[in-house]
C-alpha cells in the first residue's frame, strides 16, 4: 500500500467511476482496477460491490476512504508543518471559477511560481458550491470562489475583489439604457447553479423584470461572444482583472444598487499550507491592483 494508491481510492470516491478516477490521477483504467484489487487483498476486505455495472464502494469501503483522506492529508502536511511559516514550496491543489481562469488566476499563479520556483499548482475548475464541497472533503487545498451565503465551519474567506454586475450588449444596439435593452432583446443567462447566476436571478426578480431567455451558459467568454454576435444581452461581473483583448461591447452600469460579486480565496483555517496560500492571496490582490492580465504577466517577479 502506498500514498499513491490511497489517492487513487479517494479519486474513485470523488469521481464515482474508475475511468474518471484514472483521468484525475493520471493513470490508466487498468491501473486503477489493479490498485483497488491490491488494496482489497492487503486489507482482506471487499471495497467495491462489483455486481453493479459501475462498481460502488461498500460501507466498509466508504469508511476506509474517510480514513484514507486523513492519512493523505497528514502526509501532505508533513513537510509544511516542519518548515512552518517558511514553507512556501510543494504542491497546491487550487480550485477556481471558470470566469477567473483567463485573467486573475493565470496572472496570480505566474507571480507565485516566479517568486517561489519550488511551488507547483494543480488547477481544478468548478463552480463555487462544487469547489467548497471539494474543500470540505480535503480534495483541494484552497479555491477562488464567489463568497457563498454560508461558509462551512472552520473555513476562512479572504476577499480578493468586488465585481459589480453590469449589462453586456452589442455595439449595434440602439440604446444605452440597460432596462430598455433587457426588455427589447433576448437574454443570455449565466448558469443559475453558479453563485453569480443566482445573484442575477434574484436581482431580476427584485426589479420585477421578465426576460425572454435565449440560452444559459457557464463561461464569461462564451457569454461575451454570444453578445458580440448580437444574439442577445447578458448580465455579468465586471472583471477585476481585465482581459488583454476584451471584445468591443457595451458595458453598462445597473445602477447604484447593482449586485456585487465578491471574489475570495477560501481554505481550511487549520491548513498546513497557510504560508503559501497567504502568498497566493497577496499575488491575487496584486493582480487586481494592476487590473489588466497582460500587465500582470509583465510585472511578475523574476
Domain locations in the chain?
3-76, 88-161+262-298, 162-261
**pLDDT tens digits, 285-302:** 999 999 988 755 555 554
**pLDDT tens digits, 127-181:** 999 999 999 888 899 999 999 888 888 899 999 999 999 999 999 999 999 999 9
Cβ neighbours for 74, distance < 8 A, ≥ 6 positions apart? none
* Grid cell listed for 42: 492487503
Which range has the top average pLDDT, 49-58, 86-95, 200-209? Answer: 200-209
Options 3.40.980.10, 3.40.50.620, 3.90.1570.10, 3.40.190.10; CATH for 162-261 is 3.40.190.10
Please tell me the predicted confidence (pLDDT) of residue 299.
53
Please tell me the predicted confidence (pLDDT) of residue 297.
53
Q: How far apart are the first and last CA of the chain?
A: 41
Q: What confidence category does residue 85 fall into, taking pLDDT thresholds of 50, 70 and 90?
A: very low
Looking up cell 447593482 gives: 258
- Is domain 3-76 given the CATH code 3.30.980.10 in the classification? no
- Is domain 88-161+262-298 given the CATH code 3.30.230.10 in the classification? no
Residue ranges in 44-122 assigned as alpha helix (H): 59-76, 78-83, 104-115
**Between 261 and 245, where is the model more confident?**
261
Please tell me the predicted confidence (pLDDT) of residue 84.
47
pLDDT, mean over the chain: 88
CA–CA separation, 80 vs 73, rounded Å? 12
Amino acid at each position: 500500500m502506498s500514498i499513491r494508491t490511497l489517492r487513487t481510492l479517494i479519486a474513485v470516491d470523488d469521481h464515482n467511476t474508475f475511468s474518471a478516477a484514472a483521468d484525475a490521477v493520471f493513470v490508466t483504467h487498468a491501473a486503477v482496477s489493479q490498485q483497488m484489487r491490491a488494496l482489497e487483498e492487503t486489507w482482506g476486505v471487499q471495497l467495491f460491490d462489483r455486481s453493479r455495472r459501475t462498481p460502488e464502494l461498500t460501507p466498509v469501503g466508504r469508511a476506509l476512504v474517510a480514513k484514507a483522506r486523513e492519512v493523505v492529508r497528514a502526509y501532505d502536511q508533513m513537510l509544511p508543518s516542519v518548515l512552518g511559516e517558511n514553507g512556501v514550496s510543494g504542491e497546491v491543489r487550487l480550485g477556481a471559477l471558470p470566469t477567473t481562469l483567463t485573467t486573475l488566476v493565470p496572472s496570480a499563479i505566474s507571480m507565485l511560481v516566479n517568486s517561489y520556483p519550488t511551488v507547483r499548482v494543480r488547477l481544478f475548475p468548478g463552480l463555487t458550491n462544487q469547489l467548497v464541497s471539494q474543500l470540505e472533503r480535503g480534495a483541494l487545498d484552497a479555491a477562488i470562489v464567489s463568497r457563498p451565503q454560508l461558509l462551512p465551519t472552520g473555513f476562512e474567506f479572504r476577499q480578493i475583489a468586488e465585481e459589480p454586475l453590469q449589462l453586456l450588449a452589442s455595439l449595434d444596439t440602439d440604446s444605452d439604457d440597460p432596462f430598455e435593452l433587457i426588455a427589447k432583446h433576448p437574454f443570455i443567462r449565466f448558469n443559475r447553479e453558479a453563485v453569480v447566476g443566482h445573484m442575477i436571478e434574484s436581482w431580476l426578480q427584485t426589479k420585477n423584470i421578465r426576460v425572454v431567455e435565449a440560452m444559459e451558459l457557464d463561461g464569461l467568454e462564451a457569454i461575451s461572444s454570444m453578445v458580440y454576435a448580437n444574439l442577445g444581452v447578458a448580465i455579468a461581473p465586471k472583471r477585476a482583472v481585465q482581459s488583454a483583448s476584451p471584445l468591443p461591447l457595451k458595458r453598462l452600469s445597473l445602477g447604484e444598487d447593482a449586485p456585487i460579486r465578491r471574489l475570495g480565496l477560501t481554505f481550511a483555517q487549520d491548513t498546513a499550507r497557510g504560508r503559501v496560500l497567504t502568498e497566493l492571496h497577496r499575488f491575487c490582490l496584486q493582480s487586481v491592483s494592476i487590473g489588466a492580465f497582460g500587465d500582470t504577466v509583465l510585472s511578475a517577479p523574476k
